[in-house]
Amino acid sequence: MTSPHSRRVGIIALLQESNTFLAGRTMLDHFRADLLATGPAVRDQLAGAHHEVGGFFAGLAATSVEAVPIFAARALPYGTMTAGCLAALVDMMMEEIDSVGPLDGLLVAAHGATASEEIMDVDGHWLGVLRQQFPTLPIIGTIDPHANLSPAMIAATDALIAYRTNPHVDQRDRGLEAAWLMTQTLAGEIRPTQDAASPGLVINIECQDPAAFPCLPHYEAAARLREPFATLAPHDAVPRGTVLSTSIVLGFPYADVPEMGSAAIVVTNDDFDAARGHADALATGIRQARDTFHPALVTVDTALDRAAAAAGPVCLLDMGDNVGGGSPADGMALARAILRRKLAPSFACVCDAAAAEAATAAGVGARLRLAVGGHAPEWAGDAESQPIDAEWRVTAVSDGRFTETKPRHGGGTAFDQGPTAVLAHDSGITVMVTSRRMAPFSLEQIRHTGLDPAAFRLLVAKGVHAPVAAYGEICREFIRVNTPGVTTADLSRLNYRRSGASPLQF
């Protein structure tokens, strides 16, 4: 180790959520389109973000520990990662590590639900590579609560901390927490020791709200375990066995991997038996409450009946085409139903590069016939989700770039959805067409084209929980809709082959 006055902690992030039910593959270009940075560029792009890596930098900046930016890669959720992509990312990571000199610890940001063609547990793999390289250094990190936690992830780290909110607006706070654990570890004040347990339960995505029943009682139980530590004075010695951190891991049901499902993590001060006992108790509580985790599965027609009777604005959450779960982002089932029922004014956003190009070429004010959305192969055989072929009026075009200053799901601040056009139908529905998939994490996605999101009666957001942080500014009601697609909330429609937990246990 270096001297106590020059401690150096490396910062590493590799984040991607892999939907194994998609035919498409996640490749290196997907990371280049979102985030792929090494060295000082990691600090430049993430230090000020509402992101766990931003929390790492901020937490270390308040101490004498030097933050050493090494590697950060992130891609929008999509299909299984190619073997070549994973190899390239790990090679880049390790090459950069070799160039930064001695380190005293690593702060890592993993997603936890990344799968590749050859390695199903990608996060366990790259964290294990780090552990092999640094067998004695503290490795402390964050994971998304949609992780499919593996024993390899736990074995490779001293402490893992999952976000506690969904939408994920506490990412920076969890990064600060991880940085604090690291500095206290390096100071010799604590020795993080963790264990995890699984209830063998798949929690349906519709039920994954930590702030509401059925998840809330389990998050409250986890919080109670942290209370004794929270009451310690700043300079008090931390007794052995004190619970330093607890996490409820909800799981990602769209990655058909052996570890798929929920879990609990407990980190104690130097007491493995205590960590195991507390983790087992949290997992047992979830397992005993299994009958509470049944989704509502509201149909499209029922959702529109409710929306039509509401004052609005109402947000219709398109669960089957959840961009945050890797979906194509161009399903037209909800837009078609709204068009059919003439519920106006309404708004939807879909990824359709060809429509965006044609509308941009035609120019604002032009009228043209376009088959909008529904082109992804996942919609074959599903007529409701396929393109809406109609006459549209172009009301706006943009380069698709916008910024978000507030904490929102994902912690992002700068967004680029590529050339974008706004199309209006005579029935009163407005459809934004983008050249790149974009998750509905910010209302600036709508506002940057000159639209006022609050002026719409209905807004379709292709997500489940993530859009709520942004759309909560304007929407009086949220309705989660059981639409078709590769992120369907009806898990019985998915063909699980590898999962260790029964997909019927939701």
Distance CA(110)–CA(27), nearest Å, equals 18
Contact, 278 vs 225, CB < 8 A? yes
Is the predicted pLDDT of residue 153 greater than 50, yes or no? yes
Distance CA(351)–CA(367), nearest Å, equals 20
Report the share of the chain in percent with pLDDT over 90. 93
Q: Supply the pLDDT for residue 506.
A: 44
The confidence band for 401, taking pLDDT boundaries of 50, 70 and 90, is very high
The confidence band for 387, taking pLDDT boundaries of 50, 70 and 90, is very high
Distance CA(175)–CA(108), nearest Å, equals 9
Name residue 99's beta-bridge partners.
Answer: none
Contact, 140 vs 55, CB < 8 A? no
Model confidence over 42-56: pLDDT tens digits?
999 999 999 999 999
Relative orientation angle of helices 122-133 and 83-99, to the nearest 10 degrees: 30
Average pLDDT over residues 412-426: 95
Distance CA(226)–CA(228), nearest Å, equals 6
Higher pLDDT, 138 or 497: 138
Distance CA(506)–CA(503), nearest Å, equals 7
Give the pTM. 0.95
Model confidence over 447-461: pLDDT tens digits?
999 999 999 999 999
Nearest Cα to Cα of residue 252 among 264, 240, 263, 260: 260
Name residue 266's beta-bridge partners.
Answer: 195, 246
Largest Cα span, the chain = 71
The confidence band for 25, taking pLDDT boundaries of 50, 70 and 90, is very high
In the chain, domain spans: 4-292, 300-489
Q: Across the chain, what does the average pLDDT equal?
A: 95
Model confidence over 309-335: pLDDT tens digits?
999 899 999 999 999 999 999 999 999
Average pLDDT over residues 180-198: 98
Between strands 139-143 and 263-269, the pairing is: unpaired
Q: Supply the pLDDT for residue 462.
A: 98
The confidence band for 1, taking pLDDT boundaries of 50, 70 and 90, is very low
Model confidence over 89-118: pLDDT tens digits?
999 999 999 999 999 999 999 999 999 999
Quick one: tokens of 13?
């992030």
The confidence band for 428, taking pLDDT boundaries of 50, 70 and 90, is very high
Q: Supply the pLDDT for residue 327.
A: 96
The beta-carbon contacts of 1-5 under 8 Å, at least 24 apart in sequence, are 1/102, 1/104, 2/102, 2/104, 4/186, 4/187, 5/64
